[in-house]
Amino acid sequence: MALGPVRTACARLLPPLALLLLAATACAAPAGQPPVARTAPRDAAGDRIGTLSLGTAQGPRACTASVVRSPGHNLLVTAAHCVEPEDYGLQEGLVFTPGYRDGTSPYGTWSVDVVTVDPRWSEDADPEYDVAFVTVRPSGGRQIEDVVGGNGLGGEGGFGLAVSVTGYPNGVEEPITCTTRTASQSPTQERFDCDGYTNGTSGSPWITADGAVVGVIGGYQEGGDTPRISYSVTFDDRVTELYRRATGE
């Protein structure tokens, strides 16, 4: 199930032996071409990022999401088109699986409770508002942030920021990651260039070195129509206000 833009990636075109090599190294990029994402390492920062899927951790994949700090310790950020696609409406039965790898769910699955998107997305699928905050229900009596931690929500930091972007391509059992710099797509949208971000990576967080989320794959072209270039709404007052709505602050 693909709710994001249709993309292809070098990993999907390689034979099995080459896929094993890709797990340790990035695909070689010719001079002048963007870098290629590699398999993400197992670490605490990566455990805050996971899959959004239908029903169970092994159910049809929708997108990627990540935990952000909040008063309720129960909040995720992703793209609006992941949880309320223009052609489907609000998705029911989504679950979040942080740190998912190779069919395992080290921290369990967390059921989506409340989805908060801007009305301009709900009514018109306006790409300027392709961001969503999602609360998840407790699991085992604990909130998600208390289990894996959470990233801070970054404000508008301008373009040219160094970010790491980690997400889950559909059909792949481990997350990919790439470190690059943001660039301007428009005054209110930004981009990064790195190959490999296919269906399933929408909603992947753009995280700075100090652990702040300053974007998620989405926005223009619902995140991009090529795996080499990805987009995000700039995290300015629009996103800050949506966060306040989601948290009741």
Q: What pLDDT is attached to residue 100?
A: 97
Residue 203 CA, distance from chain mean position: 3
Please say if the pLDDT value at position 56 is more than 90: yes
CA distance 241 to 243: 5
Q: Which of 11, 90, 96 is nearest to 61 (CA)?
A: 96
Mean pLDDT in the chain? Answer: 87
Q: Tell me the Cα Rg of the chain.
A: 16
DSSP 171: T
User: Where in the chain are the domains?
Assistant: 35-42+152-236, 46-150+240-247
pTM: 0.87
Q: Tell me whether residue 206 is exposed, middle or buried, using C-beta atoms within 10 angstroms of its C-beta: 0 to 12, 13 to 18, 19 or more.
A: buried
Q: pLDDT tens for residues 107-155?
A: 999 999 999 999 999 999 999 999 999 999 999 999 999 999 999 998 7
Residue 89: the pLDDT is: 85
Which CATH code of 3.40.30.10, 2.40.10.10, 2.30.30.90, 3.40.47.10 fits the domain covering 35-42+152-236? Answer: 2.40.10.10
Question: Per residue in 69-117, pLDDT tens?
Answer: 999 999 999 999 999 998 888 899 999 999 999 999 999 999 999 999 9
